[in-house]
Structure 1
């Protein structure tokens, strides 16, 4: 009887990728801001403050309020 050594993590990942490709899928990598980073949190705060002072702010808030009142039936 022949025994097989366990697969390494890279071999497991390769097999997984082959199975996913055979299923018609492809990998996609998405990079998003790390909100745990103080630098990113500060930048998001800065941009939020700028947006809140924009000339269209009241129109946007009114739209969001109206949109939140929509129900599934309407």
Structure 2
């Protein structure tokens, strides 16, 4: 059985089991700028605790789902 046939058979079985195939795009961890961008974003997240105005605003305008 060829690779194409095995893949086709696997996909058929998955569809019969109620699954569907999707394609997901994710960041390429091999890209030359990935580490620098990950570091930049994590530094911003770590620094977020010192800038609470944004979170306070989000909480003020948010609807509590527990009340519904």
Q: What range describes the TM-score normalised by the shorter chain of this pair?
A: 0.5 to 0.7
Gap regions ≥5 residues in structure 2? 53-68
TM-score (ref. length: structure 2): 0.55
Shift of 1:31: 2.5
TM-score (ref. length: structure 1): 0.52
Match of 1:19 in 2: 13
Higher helix share: 2
Q: Which has the larger radius of gyration?
A: 1
- Spell out, residue by residue over 1:2-33, the C-alpha distance to the aligned partner (whole angstroms, 9 max, x if none): xxxxx221111111111111111111232322
Gap regions ≥5 residues in structure 1? 1-6, 57-74
Counterpart pick for 2:25 among 23, 31, 35: 31
- Over the aligned positions, Cα root-mean-square deviation in angstroms equals 1.9
d(CA) in 2 for partners of 1:49, 1:24: 42
Structure with bigger RCO (C-alpha 8 Å, 6+ apart): 2
* Paired residues, number: 50
